[in-house]
Amino acid sequence: MPRVNIQPQLAPAASQALLADIGQAFGATPNMFKAVANSPAALQSMWAAFGALGSGTLGARLGEQLAVAIANRNRCEYCLAAHTVLGHKAGVSAEDMAAAQVGKSSDARTVAALAFALKVVEQRARIGDADVASLREVGFGDEQIVEIIAHVALNLFTNTINVALDVPVDFPKIALK
């Protein structure tokens, strides 16, 4: 049972227009956004971050693979389910999404990005020069390195919201690994 309101009609008036936009974008308003709508500032921040990173240089495919790896590591069933669906919509196969969930891929760039992101999560951003060098070796530049870290931060935000507030999963469930 969620620990905060998830009835959009009870969200503050300042959240209503953005909730309508989110509902239009998804075809329905996901429970996570309903929960976050209790704070118009948090809702605006989250939605803006999704939009900004969605138009970044990493692309939707890698962004969704990063999201499932981070969700699995943080035991966030909500984000794992949601980003698996979004990954499929971005053209990532079920096999590749399942591999990404545990930090694996047949693509060297994806493996490097997943390993780096998971190290940032596990070590609370305490990484070294060699970690950044591993990204550069597969062709990532400064812009992409910063974007990977931004994806980590956004996913930590959403994982924390969903786990802490016990937001009901409204996407097809995926088993944590």
What pLDDT is stored for residue 63 in this prediction? Answer: 98
What pLDDT is stored for residue 141 in this prediction? Answer: 98
DSSP 8-state symbol, 5: -
What pLDDT is stored for residue 73 in this prediction? Answer: 98
**Tens of pLDDT along 9-30?**
999 999 999 999 999 999 999 9
**Tens of pLDDT along 101-150?**
999 999 999 999 999 999 999 999 999 999 999 999 999 999 999 999 99
Statement to judge: residues 111 and 155 lie in one domain: yes
Gyration radius of the chain's alpha carbons: 16
Statement to judge: residues 68 and 145 lie in one domain: yes
Q: Cα separation of 116 and 131, whole Å? A: 7
Statement to judge: residues 65 and 83 lie in one domain: yes
Question: Cβ distance 29 to 23 under 8 Å?
Answer: yes
**Tens of pLDDT along 45-95?**
999 999 999 999 999 999 999 999 999 999 999 999 999 999 999 999 999
pTM of this prediction?
0.97
Statement to judge: residues 83 and 147 lie in one domain: yes
What pLDDT is stored for residue 174 in this prediction? Answer: 98
Question: Residues 156-168: what's their mean pLDDT?
Answer: 98
Nearest residue to 26 via CA among 8, 40, 1:
8
**Which tokens belong to 80?**
């794992």
Sort residue 75 into left (φ over 0), alpha (ψ -120 to 50) or beta. left
CATH number of the domain at 133, please.
Answer: 1.20.1290.10
Statement to judge: residues 104 and 122 lie in one domain: yes
Confidence at 177, pLDDT banded by 50, 70, 90: very high
Q: Which domain holds residue 133?
A: 59-159
